[in-house]
Amino acid sequence: MDDKEQAKANQAILRTFYSVIKDSDPCIEFLLITGISKFSKDSIFSVLNNLNDITIDPNFADLTGYTQEELEASFEPYMHQVEKSLSLGRAELLAKLRHWYNGYTWDGQVYVYNPFSVLNFFQKGIFRNYWFETATPTFLLQLMREQEALELDDVILDELAFATVDIIRVASTPSCGFGAESIGNAAARGRAHYTL
């Protein structure tokens, strides 16, 4: 993101890719495109203009991770091994898993575990920041430093904050209430909130 010319070149490649998808529309019944950073529809997706963005749709709040029930049911066979190797009881293991990997919510009600981190944890048996270690979002950290918005505890964002990001003109969203409103207050006022 620091190299604006490279960012523009990447946009051009993606536009070409998405134009092929659009041309194939009659042959595609269902397509799910995922990513890490959200970019404005008018920059990359202008050639693919019939998208249904489900990022913060409450109907899909549990799509991108494991719910508590899924974690306990699907990973139950692996929990015994980790409990033994780390000398933890089930309740303590679940509490630590929740602390380390259950911080994602798109509707403020359903929390999901990061799948990449959970899979790595059960493979290695060590609590670590697996997801963050894969690629530090340096452009985001740099932007937050420039905007003096480094405090992320209890950050409340409204839907507008997720509406669009143009990688050429990236800036922090003025609608971000960095620490200005608690989750309880947001819910009481009927505002959707998103936890970082």
pLDDT in tens, 168-188: 444 444 433 333 333 333 344
pLDDT in tens, 71-123: 999 999 999 999 999 999 999 999 999 999 998 888 889 999 999 999 999 99
- Tell me how crowded residue 79 is: count the other CB atoms within 10 A of its CB: 17
pLDDT in tens, 56-71: 889 999 998 999 999 9
- φ and ψ at 177, to 5 degrees? -95, 75
Residue ranges of domains in the chain: 4-59, 64-133, 136-188
Phi-psi region of 179 (alpha: psi -120 to 50; beta: other; left: phi over 0): left
Higher per-residue pLDDT: 13 or 192: 13
Cβ 135 vs Cβ 156: under 8 Å: no
How far is residue 21 from each of residues 16, 31, 58, 63, 165, measured CA to CA in Å? Answer: 9, 9, 27, 23, 22
pLDDT-based confidence at 151, cuts 50/70/90? Answer: low
pTM above 0.85, yes or no: no
Cβ 104 vs Cβ 111: under 8 Å: yes
Q: pLDDT at position 168, please?
A: 47
Distance, CA of 116 to CA of 97 (rounded, Å): 13
pLDDT-based confidence at 12, cuts 50/70/90? Answer: confident
